[in-house]
Structure 1
C-alpha cells in the first residue's frame, strides 16, 4: 500500500529549505487575530511567509528539522490545532463567500458542525490526508473542484450529497454531516485493500452505492476578486502572503473573519471600503492582473525536486505587456499545486518558452 505522506503540523515534510508544515483551515474560515498569531509563529520559527494552498489551507516553510515544541504550541494557541489525532484529515473546503454574499444557503454553521463531528469520529482518524470534503452553497465553485464527497445546496434546507463529481442524491441540510461521515467511513473501509486514497481512484465503490444517480457537474464560476458586497477579495501572488501583506489584512480585518479560498486569495470581511490598503501592500484586486492567471509550485531552491526557480521565473515575466492564459509552472513532473481547471501546463520551462504561451490558445490541462 502506498504511504500517505501528506504533511500536517505534527508531521512536517522535510524540504530543501527546511521543514514545512500544512495547517488545515476547514472551510478556509479564520480570523484576523488567528492569522496574525500564525504569522508571528512563522516569523519566529520559519521563513515568515504564510503559503496559501489549493485546498484553502496554509503552509509554513523554513522551519527547523526538529520542529520546536514552542511552534506547535503557538499553532494550537492560535486555534489551528484542535485535534492531534485528526489534524491531517480536517480537509474541508467550502464556498468562500457562503453566508457573506450570494449562494443558496449559509453553510458556515455546516463547516463548524462537520469539522467538530469529524474530529469526534475515532474511525476516521486514519482517513487519508488527501481525502477532500466539499461544501458548496449552490454557486458551483466548490463542486467544480470535484472533492471526494460534497454537499451542494439546492436551497436553504436541502441539497445534493455528491460522490466523486457526478453521482448524487438529495439530503436535508440537517442530515448532511452524518451522511458525509458515513460515506467517508464506508470509503475508507473499501479502499484499505487497494491502496488508493481518493474516490475517483475506486470507481467500483462509487458504482456500488445504492440510491445515487447521475447529477450535473456545474461549470466553475470565475473566482471573485475586488469588492464583493461589503467585502474585499484579494489575490495573493504565487500564494505567498508576506509579513507586510499579512499586516495589511489584519489591519483591515480587525477582529473580524478572514476566509482563505482555494484560489490562493483571501476574503477580508467588511473590507470593501479599505481595498486600497490591501492592494497597496501588493495584494491583487484587478482581474486583468497577470497574477490572476499565473501560478507555480514552490520550485527550486526550496524544493529538492525543482529544476528551475519557478517563483523568480514568473516574477521576471509578470510585468510583460501580455495577456496570459491560465498558466501553471512546475519545477518537476509532479506538478504540485496545479489548478483543477483548463490551463497551460509547463514543466521546468525556459523564460522564452513561458513567454510563448501568452500568444498560444488555451488547451485542456494534462
Structure 2
C-alpha cells in the first residue's frame, strides 16, 4: 500500500523542502527529493530510480548538494504507480520522517557506514524528530573533517576506534563511540523542543537558547571554528587508494552512468553519492576506463571538476536564464581552448542560489558564456577585464 503523508509533521508552510509524499511543483512538472543518509546506496537502487524517472518524468536524475536525489518533470498529481515504484526501492522507510533524513557523511570513510545506518534507524524511530525542519542537516566525519565544511546543524567526528566529538551550537563534547548516536538524537530532540517558530537550523537559535541545546552533555567546550567557506572542495574526481571519485557533469545521473557503477563495483556493493555531485565507486581504481567511457569525470583537472549549475530555465519559474546550457557551453569552450580551471563556479538563475556549495563562486544570471568562462578560468575572455 502506498504510504500517506502525515500533515501533523509539517513544521510550517514556509518549510517547503520536498519529498516523495510532498512534491514541489516546478515549471517542468512535479519534483520529488529522495533522501539517502550518508549517500550510501547500491548501484542497483540508482539504476531503479533512473529507470523510474525515465518512465514517469525526466530521463536523468538530479544529484543535490546534500548527497540526495531529485526526480523532476513528473505529472501532477503524482501517479500512484510512481510512488509505489519508488517505495519498492527501499528509499522511503518512513512516511512521517522522509524529509528529515538529511545526513552527509565522509564518502571515503567506510568505518562510518554502520554508524550512519544506526543513526538513520534511531531518527526514524523517534516520533518527536518527525517535527524537525526539512532544512536541518546532520554530518558524520572521520578525522579528516571532509564534510564539516558543509552547513550542518549537528555533527560527529570520529578521531579513534572508540571515541570522537559531537558538535552542535558552537559547542563540542567528547563521546565514546557507542554514545555518539544517542547524543546526536538527544540534541536533535532538544532543538525540536526549544526552537521558536521560524528557526529552521541551529544557527537560527537565539544565543540565550544555545546552552539549553545540550543540557545533558558533560563539560561541553567551544567547538573549533568551521573551515572558511572559501576553501577547496574536500573531494575531487580521481583515484583515491582503491576507490574512484567519479564526477557527474552538472550532477545529472544517466542510465549510462549507473550502469558503469554497477559494472565496476557490482550491482549490490555500496557506492556513495557525495555532496559535491560525484559518486565514490569503492574498489574501482582498476576500472576507471569503464567510468570514463560512460561520460563520468575521473580527473581533478578540467572544467567539470569545478563547474555546476542550478536547473534554471525552462524548468524553473524564477528565472529566464538557461543555466545548464550556459554551463555546458562554458565547459566545452574551456576544454577546446585548453584553459586552466582554477575556481569552483556555480551558475544560478536568481538570488535564491539553489544548490550552492560552500566553496563555490556564485554567478547569478550571467549574461553570456564568456562570463562563465572568465570566472571559471580567471582568464579574460572576449575583452572582459
Change (3 A) 1:66 1:358: closer
Q: Distance in 2 between matches of 1:23 and 1:344?
A: 27
SS state of the match for residue 308, structure 1?
Answer: coil
Which secondary structure does the structure 1 equivalent of 2:71 belong to? strand
Alignment of 1:45-60 (within 5 A): 45-60=56-71
SS in 2 for 1:115: helix
- Residues 26 and 316 of structure 2 are in contact (CA less than 8 Å); yes or no, is this contact kept in structure 1? yes
Pairs within 5 Å for 1:193-204: 193-204=196-207
User: Which residue does the alignment assign to 2:128?
Assistant: 123
Deviation, 1:230, is 1.9
Q: TM-score, normalised by structure 2?
A: 0.87
- Residue of structure 2 equivalent to 1:176: 180
Which of 220, 226, 233 aligns to 1:212? It is 220
2:348 equivalent in structure 1: 330
Structure 1: any 5+ residue segments left out of the alignment?
Answer: 100-105, 362-366
Question: Per the alignment, do residues 229 and 34 of structure 1 end up closer, same or farther by CA in structure 2, a change over 3 Å counting?
Answer: same
- Runs of 4+ residues over 3 Å off in structure 1: 207-211, 217-222, 358-361
**Displacement after TM superposition at 1:217 (Å):** 3.4
Deviation at 1:218, TM superposition (A): 5.7
For residues 279 and 120 of structure 1, the distance between their equivalents in structure 2, rounded to whole angstroms, comes to 41
* 1:134-173 aligned within 5 A: 134-164=139-169, 166-173=170-177
**Displacement of 1:2:** 5.7
Paired with 1:107 and 1:25, the residues of 2 have a C-alpha distance of 14
Q: Does 1:260 align with 2:273?
A: yes
Preserved contact between residue 309 and residue 324 of structure 2 (Cα < 8 Å): yes
Which whole-Å deviations, capped at 9, do the CAs of 1:65-121 have from their partners, x for residues lacking one? 11111111111111101111111111111111112xxxxxx1111001000010000
For residue 250 of structure 1, report the CA deviation from its aligned partner. 2.2
Contact preservation (8 Å) 2:58, 2:72: yes
8 Å CA contact 1:53–1:59 kept in 2: the answer is yes
Matches of 1:358 and 1:230 in 2, distance apart?
30
| Aligned length, in residue pairs | 352
The Cα offsets for residues 52-76 of structure 1, whole Å up to 9 and x where unpaired, read as 1111111111111111111111111
| Alpha-carbon separation, structure 2, partners of 1:360 and 1:37 | 40
The CA distance in 2 between the partners of 1:150 and 1:359, in whole Å, is 34
**CA displacement at 1:31 relative to structure 2:** 0.4
Report what 1:347 is aligned to.
364
> CA separation of 1:70/1:307 partners in 2, compared to 1, >3 Å: closer, same or farther?
same
CA contact (8 A) 1:28 1:56 kept: yes
Contact 1:140 1:218 in 2 (8 A): no
Name the structure 2 match of 1:301: 314
How far apart are residue 360 of structure 1 and its match? 4.0
- Residue 7 of structure 1 is matched in structure 2 by 18
Confirm or deny that 1:186 pairs with 2:203: no
**Cα pair 2:237 2:305 within 8 Å, conserved:** no
Aligned partners of 1:223 and 1:88: how far apart in 2? 26
TM-score, with normalisation over the residues of structure 1?
0.92
Note the residue ranges of structure 2 that are not aligned, 5 or more in a row.
1-11, 380-385
Q: Answer yes or no: is the 8 Å Cα contact 2:307–2:376 preserved in 1.
A: no
